[in-house]
Chains A and B, each alone.
Chain A
């Protein structure tokens, strides 16, 4: 029987289909959080820092750029599997994140497999708000350990 687990640089957890990754709750997201991220990441689209501009374009106000919640969510695979062991990260954006929302971030193993003699896990990832509205979904593929 094969026993799967993260590599030592991850959180050391055993893995099977359905295993949950580390879960985080972040929020309430503030305008300052979004502006700080704009400065760090270089996205100066005024939709993400200028309420008046955002309203003039038909939005209720400024909102976070998708890459902000992508960055928040990326902590799940990083802590779970270890930064160096992440091979692929793929994220899809479904709904804007607004100031005042709190996000729940987590993941679930969907597959364990060997590829070219490397043991890998594929896990779904998800960011929702506290009402359960899906903001970001996606998956990660990471190198893991399999003991036969």
Chain B
């Protein structure tokens, strides 16, 4: 996609997202990030920490990638914007927590493109930075986590 037409995506909703918050998935995720805290494994331990059920780890929201809405192929924001995922790197991510999500609910939201910026890379080629924002809300429509993420398509690899 040409960068001029990419600019038209700024301010637009590019995908809907869905994140079931489930105890089994939290356990799997906690093991994958090597956090053996009992709060992620056992609801009694979660209750002892004051949670109504097993809480989600801080970065658990990434698992929304498992649940594409309205599209049979899971695509990242970068791919939706037409970037080449073989040269897209993760620039930064920010999470604002309005409360801690716990197992038993489903969070939903929309991803909006906040900004698209082109920069000249060190080798004179073009880098494209896409920043997207998603507000994950609970069944009552109340925001639970606000996500903000920047992906960077690097210059094309120098050949030879």
Contacts and interface: CB of A to CB of B under 8 A. Distances in A.
Q: Of residues A45, A68, A71, which shows the largest number of chain B Cβ atoms within 10 Å of its Cβ?
A: A71
A19 interface: no
Interface string A4-41: 00000100000000000000001000000100110111
Contact of B33 (A42, A71, A83, A87): A71
A1 B90 CA distance: 43
The 4 closest A-B pairs by CB, nearest first: A71-B33, A42-B65, A66-B90, A40-B32
B58 A74 contact: yes
Contacts, number: 116
B32 A90 contact: no
B86 interface: yes
A74 B94 CA distance: 12
Contact of B39 (A45, A67, A75, A83): A83
B140 interface: no
Interface of B: 25, 28-29, 31-35, 37, 39, 49-51, 55, 57-59, 62-66, 74, 76, 85-87, 89-97, 100, 157
B100 A84 contact: yes
A57 B33 contact: no
A92 B149 CA distance: 10
B93 A90 contact: yes
A40 B33 CA distance: 9
Chain B, interface SS category: mixed
A74 B51 contact: no
B33 A91 contact: no
21 contacts: A9-B50, A36-B31, A40-B28, A40-B29, A40-B33, A41-B62, A41-B63, A42-B63, A45-B76, A47-B85, A66-B93, A67-B62, A67-B93, A74-B33, A79-B37, A83-B57, A84-B49, A84-B100, A86-B58, A89-B95, A91-B92
Interface residues of A, number: 41
Given A41-B29, A43-B65, A75-B35, 7 more contacts: A40-B28, A40-B63, A45-B76, A70-B93, A79-B37, A83-B57, A83-B58
Nearest to B64: A42
A40 to B, nearest CB: 4
Contact of B90 (A36, A42, A67, A88): A67
